[in-house]
Structure 1
Amino acid sequence: MTTAAGIRLEAKTVDSTARDAGGGGDLPGIADPASVAPRDARALSRQFFRRLTEVEEGTPEYQYARNTLIEMNMSLVRFAAGRFRGRGDDMEDIVQTGMIGLIKAIDRFELSREVEFTSFALPYIMGEIKRFFRDTTWAVHVPRRLQELRVELAKAREELSSRLDRNPTVAELATLMDITENQVVEAQLASNGYTSASLDAALTGDGPEDGEAVLADFIGVEEEGLRLVEDIHALAPLMAELSPRDRKIIHLRFVEEATQAEIGERLGCSQMHVSRLIKRIITRLRKGMLGELGCA
């Protein structure tokens, strides 16, 4: 799993032998990819993406091409991060978060899409940055739909309170916002996730004999392996529905940790074909886990 803390190291660590050799093949050797002008980076990126499809994943040549792409396109991250300047957060954190999106875009981009990499990458970068603000602003994770509904609820409550000179009812809020009463209640509950209290906060009873306790004393602990067990039970029937070849591909890639090239050799097909097969299988399993297969 890629984290912001590891982005800088990944972007800067390039095999020196591969770099000195120009990355192998006909790739140009670039001493300082981060200094490449954005216009030149767009032209060079196509050469490096083409090389990624030609060399085996995990080789020095592959790492050189991938890491050079990361460094050459860091200007995209700085451009996207600049739009969030002045929000009070450390710009370095925003840039590092945007780098996660850049790396995801590089790993998922295909020349066959016939679109500019910049157009493909910016939504990934912006998405990661927006997710950073969403997840770090709220005390607990709340779906974006409810975060937006909370803002509308606050506006509606303020308007009705001023108009009625009292706190509005759920029914009145629902009428003004043109939503159901259940949605109003859901938004009110979601608002509780915006701020949090310390688990060490003291809770004092009404009487002197009640003593003092802390909030943590009243919170249960979820078994760490429970979610994994649920996921395994949900995944098992989906795996059983796959063809024998698809199950073999998943086993080779995620159990034996074979590279795509190694899988291609064993199946008698190209690395790119293996990549497409894995993507299709993972998409099917993900939809099944999310309950979307019936809606596809």
Structure 2
Amino acid sequence: MAVAATTTTDAQTTQLPEIVDPAAIAPKNARELTRLFLDQLAVLEEGTREHQYARNTLIEMNISLVKFAASRFRNRGSGEMEDVVQVGTIGLIKAIDRFDLTREVEFTSFAIPYIVGEIKRFFRDTSWAVHVPRRLQEARVELAKATEELRTRLGRTPTVHELAQLMNLSEEQVNEARIASNGYVSSSLDAALSTSDEGETALADFLGTDDYALELVEDFQSLAPMIADLGERERCILHMRFVDELTQAQIGERLGISQMHVSRLIKRTLDRLRDGLLTTD
């Protein structure tokens, strides 16, 4: 701490210590100074330089609370710890703004739930690669705890039956939680993979390519009722031509008509179906 800084309001004149590096203050001293700064923050006018100084100092002085809370989530496997601390700081700010001096409670006890709440919300809203119902998100955490407990106790990977007994769930629910866990982390298609040949290659190189024929599915669905409305002979000709893959000459022989007649019938039928699709679109 350096020299005392005097701040003046309409209500009273107060003195706050000028702190050069609030984050470097020891936790014991931080508790005492936090109470002093909270007392003055309550009477300082919002928007003033003095109010901003008191609020910012409180935040920096109690950042150790955020780091302590964030350390509990170090093994969650999502995001950088800096992001977690940043989110936890939002909880700290909310605690500072909402703290009631008239309540018989330490600021630390009041702030920790706000900090932890923001961090948990961060993991709930951003950690999952795909949307998973809340009950399955919670089941995943319980599953991880139960798996670790049984692995330590048994010296091996527990079975689904053993996990179900410990968690008081059915085996089906345990399997559901396991499947949901697959949505917790995703891999980028650009992720580099080592190969036995030369260097690395992208994950996308091992996956299938786009199937452009899938675009025809919608057309098939639209065509189905139109084909059902065709006459029996027209449907028969289409089946022989496009399913059995017979030539027009072969179709003519089966029906006892000329190849030219078959060609005209196919063209007329296809034109009718094409017009139907265009009208639907």
Taking structure 2 as the reference length, the TM-score comes to 0.49
Structure index of larger Rg: 2
Greater relative contact order (CA < 8 Å, ≥ 6 in sequence): 1
Taking structure 1 as the reference length, the TM-score comes to 0.47
